[in-house]
Amino acid sequence: MKNYLKYIGTILFITLAVALVSDVFSENKKISYEQLRTEYDEFVKKFQEEQKKHSSKIQKKEIKLTMNEFNQYQIEEIDEPYFDLKWLLNQSEYKLFYSGIDNKNSFGFNEVLSESDKKMLSEIVNSVIQRIYNDENHK
């Protein structure tokens, strides 16, 4: 019950804070709260439509996700999950570079990670990520 009351109190605080910020923001933009709310709702709807449009690619992580100057996500579909670190370290189709190493066994290309390097990095990253997120989930 105590946690429930704390949760309700937090929700009420956030609701009041959002209302206050919305009023101040709408006043600064010199538009009504209703117009600001309409703009926000349109933004959310557009964002959700974009997510639906890209949902298959998003699930497969075959996207390039960036932020524009308005801190809005921009999604660009790509043909492989190049930005999925786990996929990148475990795939064998492409060679990975790591600046600053001198790997003479890479057919004339320096700074190419070997398969054993990629496996080691994958295990290290996985271990760190699991520890961080498991610790966060138990707080």
For 79-124, how does the pLDDT look when each residue is reduced to its tens digit (9 = 90+)?
999 999 999 999 999 999 988 888 776 567 888 898 999 999 999 9
Whether residue 128 sits in one domain with residue 90: yes
Whether residue 69 sits in one domain with residue 109: no
Whether residue 62 sits in one domain with residue 92: no
Whether residue 55 sits in one domain with residue 22: no
pLDDT at residue 122 in the model: 96
Whether residue 137 sits in one domain with residue 99: yes
Whether residue 100 sits in one domain with residue 59: no
The single residue listed with the structure tokens 């070997």 is 114
Do 88 and 77 contact (CB within 8 A), yes or no?
A: no
Domain that holds residue 26: 1-30
pLDDT tens column, 17-30: 666 666 666 667 67
The total number of structural domains in the chain stands at 3
pLDDT at residue 34 in the model: 80
Alpha carbon 36 to its chain's center: 26
Whether residue 133 sits in one domain with residue 119: yes
pLDDT tens column, 48-75: 887 787 788 889 999 999 998 988 888 8
pLDDT at residue 1 in the model: 46
Whether residue 135 sits in one domain with residue 91: yes
Whether residue 26 sits in one domain with residue 4: yes
| pTM of the model as a whole | 0.57
